[in-house]
Structure 1
Amino acid sequence: MDSGQEQFPAPSEGIVLTHFITSRDVARSAAFYRDVLGGQVVFEGEPTAVKLANSWIIINVGGGPTDDKPDVILEPPRDPHRTSSFLNIRVADIHAAYEEWRRRGAEFLTPPKQHADEIRCYMRDPDGYLIEVGQLTEMPA
């Protein structure tokens, strides 16, 4: 990507992966991804794009069907105890990330927990989206 494309998720070749979230309050969600997780707001409004490390989070309000998704309604999660997907953030030092993001206002479900080949914990964004934070401790078999 050229320098301009580093600030906007529009590839000149190949693909760029972004994560789209539907928000009840776009500015509040953008502030979370900027102020808590350290992202950079690339453009504001509806939609808003936040560059987060080597990826982008696109945040917009919900809405009804459109001509290209005629039977789909976009809405934030209704039940924070049920989810079908989540953002997965891999970090080099999970304990440092956990402490820094907690200081900035992140609310984690638990502290980092050791599992077979990783340490991980989960937090939620302001709309209730689940975010996994993990650190690999051993290459999976």
Structure 2
Amino acid sequence: MSRDDLPYPEAGLLLTHFLTVADVARSRAFYSDVLGGEVVLAENPCIVKLANGWIIMNPGGGPTPDKPDVTLRPPTDPNTVSSFLNIRVADIEECHRRWSAKGAEFLTPPLDRKAELRCYLRDPDGYLIEVGQATGMQKGVFADPPAGNN
């Protein structure tokens, strides 16, 4: 492992995504073996470099001095989501085939949403992951606004 593999910006900022996981080894295997990330630190915290970003994973826990009223835990209801990981790919059909063959379970196959082709899968803790390929957006075609927001 080299310093270049770790999420340390030399200037400005760098965005990473932290996941509270029930089983670090299981989640590490999913993000590296299924999605193709590179494990750059196995534990405490686990860091997986995925394309041009990093997923940081640790088990949950109670409050700490820097977050005195916050408890971390994996999702408890997979059908209620307040955020999700969004992955952009160049070829969604190929990605869907490759990741499915490695054990990823998608909610649906890729669907045409006008602005993009997209589908969703879950990681071992139930975190929702959107996989999308811009299609219409490249031509100025964007998604319809959510119902009630016209």
Q: Which runs of 5+ in 1 are unaligned?
A: none
Q: Provide the rounded CA distance (Å) in 2 between the counterparts of 1:117 and 1:10.
A: 34
2:77 maps to amino acid: D
* 1:42-100 deviation per Cα after TM superposition (whole angstroms, max 9, x unaligned): 01112100000000000000000111111110000000000100000000000000000
Q: Deviations over 1:12-69 (max 9, x none)?
A: 1111110000000001000000000000000111210000000000000000011111
SS at match of 1:107: coil
TM (norm. structure 1) is 0.95
Q: Looking at CA atoms only, which structure, 1 or 2, has the larger radius of gyration?
A: 2
Q: How many angstroms does 1:6 deviate by?
A: 2.7
- Aligned residue runs from structure 1 range 52-131, under 5 A: 52-131=50-129
Q: Deviations over 1:103-138 (max 9, x none)?
A: 001000000000121000000000000000000002
Confirm or deny: 8 A CA contact 1:5 1:11 kept in the other structure: no
CA–CA distance in 2 between the matches of 1:11 and 1:5? 10
Q: What is the DSSP-based 3-state SS (H/G/I as helix, E as strand, rest coil) of the residue aligned with 1:95?
A: helix
Aligned residues of 1:62 and 1:74 also touching (Cα < 8 A): yes
Matched-pair contact (CA < 8 Å) for 1:26–1:46? no
Given the two structures, how large is their TM-score scaled by the length of structure 2? Answer: 0.89
Structure 2: stretches of 5+ with no match in the other structure? 143-150
Determine the C-alpha separation between the residues in 2 that align with 1:6 and 1:111.
35
Give the aligned length.
139
